[in-house]
Chains A and B, each alone.
Chain A
Amino acid sequence: MTVALDHGPDSVLGDRILRVAILAVGGQGGGVLTNWVVDVAERNGYRAQSTSVAGVAQRTGATIYYVEMCPDRGRQPVFSLSPSPGDVDVMIAAELMEAGRAIIRGFVTPNRTTLIASSHRIAAVSEKIAPGDGRASSHEVEIAAQKAAKTFIGFDMEKMAVEAGSVISSSLFGALAGAGVLPFPRESFEATIRESGRGVEASLRAFALACDEAARRQGGDKMGAPQPPRVEHASAAPLPLGGQPESEDSRTDGPAATRAGEPVGDERLLAQWRELDRRIAALPEVVREMAEPGLRKVVDYQDPAYGAEYLDRLDEALTKDDAAHGFVLSHTAAKYLANAFCYDDVIRVADLKTRSSRSARLRREIGVRDDDVLKVTEYFHPRIEEICGAMPARLGRWIEARPGLATWLDKRVNKGRHIRTDGVFGFGMLWVIGGMRRWRRSLLRHAVEAEHIDRWYRLALGTVARDYDLAVEILKCRRLIKGYSDTHARGLSKFDRVLSALPLLEAQDDAAGWLRRLREAALKDEQGTMLDGALQTVASFAGPSFTGPTQPPEGTAGSAPAA
């Protein structure tokens, strides 16, 4: 129902009420933008009215602002106080999912609505708390926006604003001007910003960038230049203070970024590295793609000898793999072996936190001026498990075998420790722990991890002959093990529970598919409720003889690391 007959016999023909709605996330400054829209309308001889739904919605929730305007003929028009589905001329969304929300609410229709949306993401709480990747699909919203709107102008206005040292209201206002949907000259928009009085220059910069970009897209280049998947790099410049939440990225499935060439180090180590590099070069290309970063990670984690061990294990997969399968098994093995080899122990954390590159990154990211002092506090909470893990394997096992002693010791060590790594003492302590790297392979934690890797890897490779795809999926289950202490223990338990379904799945046609579904379910929530449901489904088709998910193949509970 959109036949608009807004004018009666007495009114000037063609005078229409323009409806502009703004959807934003609380705290994004939708109010400022609303005031600007009203101001630019009045500046151009229009009457305008704005409304908003404030209240607690402003506390990080989705908020809506609404402006109506029409030429001022000396008489007050009757404006509506809220937008209606199918009755919006311009819809401005300050975040991509809010654009999606506008579409759901029917505020975007193909015969009249110009949708101006910033393509950046601010993840909602529900998206952040999934143990895996819970983020909504930006792509689906973008496709829907193309279909739903008369014109869709979407690009990252948040990034544009931050780079100009301003906030998103400026770039949204620029895009509104550039879209040409309001019959006002660009100069009047700029005058509005100028008179608002705060951060004018930065606002005008962001305005201009977005205005030009929107005009370019409005001029037919609607999709813009093809963009590679976005990945966040640490920005070189400190971000302006008091800015808006920075852009979330979209999922990246693109090829690995090519890394810089050879590492730096002494000749002896470099010679070893070159040897490994030669082995990598001999790998099939698909495998090399993943083995290269994998090897770097492993060598960086420990040393070239550990890298050689990594390649040895990778070779085991290769011998069972072939081009007909596209080397998927080896590609997957290259990825998850690297991650498994680089388990997160105290030494790893201490090492990462004492590197010179980390010190530099911190100062850059925080934006510390040269004459300012940066104090850095690290939060550690060691437990007896970590202490034992960092002991020689026999000693660690000896303590763990004596629960009374372990509990007594735990009481002494188990507490939060805030360590200042800008000071020599705190830094020195971590530096020493990081230096334990050279003994790592004789420590208890390594023994536990090596055994776990071995069992998992053998299970996978042992399955290849029977079911290649299932073997690949078994390798991928390594993704479930992550985090520290309790989270790590939960990950291990999920890993075990997922693999516990293997005996049931073997009889199934699509065993690999089912294992994948189980793994995905395990990544949905913290406690594994979805996983339990999925396991029951598996059990239900496994037949009446089955009595419930079996125990894991072997007890795989390892010492749970935390630093």
Chain B
Amino acid sequence: MAERSFAKEVQKLRMGAGEEFSGEGILAITKALLQCGVGYVGGYQGAPISHLMDVLADAQDILGELGVHFEASASEATATAMLAASVHYPIRGACTFKSTVGTNVASDALANLASGGVTGGALIIVGEDYGEGSSIMQERSHAFAMKSQVWLLDPRPNLPSIVKSVEDGFELSEASNTPVMLQVRIKCCHVHGKFVAKDNKRPPTTVADALSNPRRDTGRIVLPPASFLHEKEKVEKRWPAAVDFIRSRQINEFFGAATGRIGLVLQGGMYNGVIRALQRLGLADIYGDTEVPLYVLNAVYPLIDDEFLDFCEGKDAVLIIEEGQPNYIEQAFGSLLYRNGGTTRLLGKGYLPVAGEYTGQVMLEGIGDFLRDQAPELLPDQIRAPNRAEEEPDPAIDLAKVVPGRPPGFCTGCPERPIFAATKLVEQELGPHHIASDIGCHLFSIMPPFDLGATTMGYGLGPASASAFNSPDATRRSISFVGDGGFWHNGLTSSIGNAVFNQSDGVIVIVDNYYSAATGGQDILSSRAANKSKSTKHPITEAVKGIGVKWVRHIDRTYDVTKVRDTLREALTTEEKGPKVIVASSECMLNKQRREKPLASKAIKGGERVVKPRFGVDEDVCTGDHACMRLSGCPSLSVKTLDDPLRDDPVAHVDHTCVGCGNCGEVADAAVLCPSFYRADTVHNPTGAERVSARLSRRVIAWLQRRRESRRLVFSGASA
């Protein structure tokens, strides 16, 4: 069960011809797939394409009706390998993942798929996690397209264009027997817009049909001598076919004046940013109408030589607007121009920065400078020679030192927080260790207040990245973390299996929160929930033992900080050789709350007995040293100033968003912090016996309190 339910959105997938679809970019792609008669879809979740996977998972009924097979693949490699179904059979298939990390994982399958080529259209939708909001290394998917010679579409970021790209992509794939990658950037995935829907299409050949009529063609299998022929076929047959298709179907677009001294060449995805810059330069209206010639590459690989040469005809200079580096497009066009004796100046990086996202400001400055230098006569007077100085932010306002950074962190009640609190406590005892981190929410440990973790080398590769630290001379062991998502993605073999085989002596902590949580709470093999269409409840401990780990400990409540700390200490100090694996399990709080909160409210209304926990701080016991926060960082645990002139520092305070996870109390206990915390369990609709017993206790307690207070001075308002 994913973090967000798309039950409502899924109904939009049923829309028929002529109806207006309104929603996120990523949903538009989902709808487009169905309109194209896709036969099967796979993928691996991850921003910015998680919602695509979630929608499909919630749309099992509709997919079933259409005969479309859907898989939540084990990894991006699995998802891409799945496209093998389109090698021999005329079935359209699609897969999706986050790029470039997903493409890295997928590239083995991608290269094999690209070599043999496809019969049915094969579309790979990559969510390009680049620029603001990205959580990964900044690289380009473009290189993968080039190296495996699969075609890369980069449509203008609006819903009708994206939807058309899906349709074009399948046809291009079939016309050129080549898989096609469709690239969508973060903001494009999350853009809300509209397009006019078409009817969904049942795949002409379903996977069931194919299974009944198996086919094979050794010519499509990647094995010599076929593999040598594949390479030739790529350049001799498939490439020209793709170029023909792109040219004849006018996949790339031209805007603005037909002639002009200058022009802009841009990736489709850059279009809105370029138009905004032109709008601000007074050269385009709000609809994007402009006199500046634009050549928009909705297909960025392969490039169409004569289209570009025609565009350059009669122009003094063109500016290539290509986000990311290396600047493959600029290089290709430069060489093309030179080989054809072109005299047009080719400009790009230089006016525009080599690296980094092409934000609105970057575009405005880059295009503005290009025009001022190359075609100043185009610019309105106000822009060319403004009377008023450009409005710069007031330099007197320097808030950079004031405003604190706010990186993402563990949610309120996160079960991973106590694991790192325990790690910090164990390090206080045994000294600092080399800690290898992995991909997932648990990577937030690298930031304050925990400051734990030295590297992150890829999904499921945490323990693998500590594999060099295995020395008989060492006095300390390495600690490595891997999440349940990473564990099943790749970690079981690459990390755990590797550690067993190489007799690693390190400590491995598997953070099991019942979901692939960082990507939105999708189910995985070890999820505890029953899932209609997936097989879950496969314990990680069994897998770990199965692969040969002897020292395995399972902690089934991570909030028990003392136990986690003691187990870690044992793992770090035991005489036993070989990998020490601790599986620390507790449900992702975000998902747990979403699941349990409505049920609890309903139960309370229905008169059922429900216990609701919450934590609090006795503010007069708290001394304001904030030791608790240095072991927590929970959003619901914050500071507040007391109305007490005797106090200098703010005290700890638990607000009403507390979910009563228990970390505060456990940490106070394990770290021997202070007795300020209390846990308050409200019993809604208590049983009769409970009520009577509570009333009696309260009476006795009240009597004791009266007795004590009659013998002292009681100040109103003081020390409540």
Contacts of B364 on A, CB cut-off 8 Å? 1, 84
The B-contacting residues of A in range 414-445, CB under 8 angstroms, are 416, 418, 421-424, 427-428, 431, 434-435
Contacts of B616 on A, CB cut-off 8 Å? 362, 365-366
Residue from A1, A103, A250 within 8 A of B368 (CB atoms): A1
Contacts of B403 on A, CB cut-off 8 Å? 97, 100-101, 104, 136, 141
Interface string of B645-669 (1 = CB under 8 A from A): 1101110010111000000011011
The reply to whether the CB of B353 lies closer than 8 angstroms to some CB of chain A is no
Cβ distance B434 to chain A, nearest Cβ, rounded Å: 21
The answer to whether A352 and B657 have CB atoms under 8 Å apart is: no
The reply to whether the CB of A299 lies closer than 8 angstroms to some CB of chain B is yes
The answer to whether B719 and A129 have CB atoms under 8 Å apart is: no
Whole-angstrom distance between the alpha carbons of A123 and B655 in the complex? 12
The answer to whether A52 and B645 have CB atoms under 8 Å apart is: no
A246-B656 contact given A16-B286, A82-B187, A379-B665, CB 8 Å threshold: yes
The answer to whether A133 and B650 have CB atoms under 8 Å apart is: yes
A431-B708 contact given A55-B186, A100-B403, CB 8 Å threshold: yes
Q: List 17 A-B contacts (CB under 8 A).
A: A26-B408, A49-B192, A49-B193, A59-B408, A78-B271, A81-B188, A84-B361, A109-B391, A133-B650, A147-B397, A148-B394, A148-B397, A242-B597, A264-B714, A374-B681, A482-B625, A484-B672
The answer to whether A427 and B704 have CB atoms under 8 Å apart is: yes
The answer to whether A377 and B712 have CB atoms under 8 Å apart is: no
The reply to whether the CB of A383 lies closer than 8 angstroms to some CB of chain B is yes
Interface string of B65-108 (1 = CB under 8 A from A): 00000000000000000000000000000000000000000000
The reply to whether the CB of B335 lies closer than 8 angstroms to some CB of chain A is no
Residue from A54, A251, A294, A361 within 8 A of B47 (CB atoms): A54
The reply to whether the CB of A355 lies closer than 8 angstroms to some CB of chain B is yes
Whole-angstrom distance between the alpha carbons of A97 and B287 in the complex? 36
The answer to whether B404 and A259 have CB atoms under 8 Å apart is: no
The answer to whether B286 and A56 have CB atoms under 8 Å apart is: no
Whole-angstrom distance between the alpha carbons of A101 and B399 in the complex? 8
Which range holds the interface residue count of chain B?
35 or more
A1-B132 contact given A357-B720, A487-B625, CB 8 Å threshold: no
Identify the interface centre among B272, B626, B684: most chain A CB within 10 Å of its CB. Answer: B626
Interface string of B680-720 (1 = CB under 8 A from A): 11111110001100101110111011101111111111111
The answer to whether B712 and A303 have CB atoms under 8 Å apart is: yes
The reply to whether the CB of B641 lies closer than 8 angstroms to some CB of chain A is yes
The answer to whether A49 and B675 have CB atoms under 8 Å apart is: no
A372-B393 contact given A61-B406, A296-B718, A362-B616, CB 8 Å threshold: no
Closest 5 CB pairs of A and B: A8-B285, A84-B360, A53-B133, A61-B408, A55-B47
The answer to whether B448 and A126 have CB atoms under 8 Å apart is: yes
CB nearest to A61 among chain B residues = B408
The answer to whether A431 and B704 have CB atoms under 8 Å apart is: yes
The A-contacting residues of B in range 578-602, CB under 8 angstroms, are 597
The answer to whether B282 and A239 have CB atoms under 8 Å apart is: no
Interface string of A254-269 (1 = CB under 8 A from B): 0111011001111001
Interface string of A24-64 (1 = CB under 8 A from B): 01110000000000100000000001111111111111101
CB nearest to B601 among chain A residues = A241
Contacts of A354 on B, CB cut-off 8 Å? 704-705, 708
The reply to whether the CB of A371 lies closer than 8 angstroms to some CB of chain B is yes
The answer to whether A374 and B682 have CB atoms under 8 Å apart is: yes
8 additional contacts (CB under 8 A) given A60-B406, A250-B641: A76-B287, A81-B191, A141-B399, A259-B718, A338-B646, A366-B614, A482-B623, A526-B627
Residue from B280, B644, B671, B705 within 8 A of A1 (CB atoms): B280
A245-B641 contact given A371-B691, A416-B670, CB 8 Å threshold: no
The reply to whether the CB of A7 lies closer than 8 angstroms to some CB of chain B is yes
Contacts of A501 on B, CB cut-off 8 Å? none
The reply to whether the CB of B390 lies closer than 8 angstroms to some CB of chain A is yes
Interface string of B103-118 (1 = CB under 8 A from A): 0000000000000000
Interface string of A82-108 (1 = CB under 8 A from B): 111111000000000110110110100
The answer to whether B286 and A245 have CB atoms under 8 Å apart is: no
A6-B279 contact given A59-B409, A231-B642, A296-B715, CB 8 Å threshold: yes
Identify the interface centre among A85, A104, A483: most chain B CB within 10 Å of its CB. Answer: A483
Residue from A122, A250, A303 within 8 A of B635 (CB atoms): A122
A-B contact count (CB 8 A): 476
The reply to whether the CB of A127 lies closer than 8 angstroms to some CB of chain B is yes
Whole-angstrom distance between the alpha carbons of A451 and B670 in the complex? 31
Contacts of B714 on A, CB cut-off 8 Å? 263-265
Contacts of B716 on A, CB cut-off 8 Å? 260, 263-264
A60-B682 contact given A52-B190, A252-B643, A358-B618, CB 8 Å threshold: no
Whole-angstrom distance between the alpha carbons of A100 and B279 in the complex? 28
Contacts of A452 on B, CB cut-off 8 Å? none
The answer to whether B680 and A366 have CB atoms under 8 Å apart is: yes
Whole-angstrom distance between the alpha carbons of A466 and B209 in the complex? 99
The answer to whether A49 and B287 have CB atoms under 8 Å apart is: no
The reply to whether the CB of A359 lies closer than 8 angstroms to some CB of chain B is yes
The answer to whether A368 and B675 have CB atoms under 8 Å apart is: no
CB nearest to A240 among chain B residues = B656
The answer to whether A249 and B186 have CB atoms under 8 Å apart is: no
Contacts of A361 on B, CB cut-off 8 Å? 720
The answer to whether A248 and B399 have CB atoms under 8 Å apart is: no
The B-contacting residues of A in range 467-524, CB under 8 angstroms, are 479, 482-487, 491, 523
Whole-angstrom distance between the alpha carbons of A54 and B4 in the complex? 13
The reply to whether the CB of A537 lies closer than 8 angstroms to some CB of chain B is no
The reply to whether the CB of A186 lies closer than 8 angstroms to some CB of chain B is no
The answer to whether B697 and A422 have CB atoms under 8 Å apart is: yes
A100-B399 contact given A57-B408, A125-B633, A293-B645, CB 8 Å threshold: yes
The reply to whether the CB of B621 lies closer than 8 angstroms to some CB of chain A is yes
Whole-angstrom distance between the alpha carbons of A526 and B271 in the complex? 51
The answer to whether B399 and A104 have CB atoms under 8 Å apart is: yes
The answer to whether B361 and A85 have CB atoms under 8 Å apart is: yes
CB nearest to A336 among chain B residues = B646
Identify the interface centre among B402, B657, B683, B709: most chain A CB within 10 Å of its CB. Answer: B402
Cβ distance B316 to chain A, nearest Cβ, rounded Å: 24
A264-B273 contact given A5-B279, A129-B630, A422-B697, CB 8 Å threshold: no
The answer to whether A81 and B272 have CB atoms under 8 Å apart is: yes
Interface string of A70-83 (1 = CB under 8 A from B): 10000111111111
Cβ distance B647 to chain A, nearest Cβ, rounded Å: 8
Whole-angstrom distance between the alpha carbons of A110 and B390 in the complex? 12
The answer to whether A248 and B47 have CB atoms under 8 Å apart is: no
Whole-angstrom distance between the alpha carbons of A260 and B720 in the complex? 14
Interface stretch among B167-175, B379-387, B471-479? B379-387
Cβ distance A207 to chain B, nearest Cβ, rounded Å: 21
CB nearest to A356 among chain B residues = B705
A87-B360 contact given A15-B286, A55-B186, A243-B657, CB 8 Å threshold: yes
The answer to whether B683 and A131 have CB atoms under 8 Å apart is: no
The reply to whether the CB of B677 lies closer than 8 angstroms to some CB of chain A is yes
The answer to whether A487 and B674 have CB atoms under 8 Å apart is: yes
A293-B397 contact given A56-B408, A356-B706, A381-B669, CB 8 Å threshold: no
Contacts of B201 on A, CB cut-off 8 Å? none
Whole-angstrom distance between the alpha carbons of A229 and B447 in the complex? 33
The B-contacting residues of A in range 251-287, CB under 8 angstroms, are 251-252, 255-257, 259-260, 263-266, 269-270, 273
The answer to whether B702 and A526 have CB atoms under 8 Å apart is: no
Contacts of A104 on B, CB cut-off 8 Å? 399-400, 403
The reply to whether the CB of A124 lies closer than 8 angstroms to some CB of chain B is yes
The reply to whether the CB of B366 lies closer than 8 angstroms to some CB of chain A is no
The answer to whether B639 and A424 have CB atoms under 8 Å apart is: no
Identify the interface centre among B275, B368, B641: most chain A CB within 10 Å of its CB. Answer: B641
Residue from A54, A97, A133 within 8 A of B190 (CB atoms): A54
Whole-angstrom distance between the alpha carbons of A245 and B638 in the complex? 9
Interface string of A208-233 (1 = CB under 8 A from B): 00000000000000000000000111
The answer to whether B448 and A81 have CB atoms under 8 Å apart is: no
CB nearest to B671 among chain A residues = A486
Residue from A52, A128, A240 within 8 A of B638 (CB atoms): A128
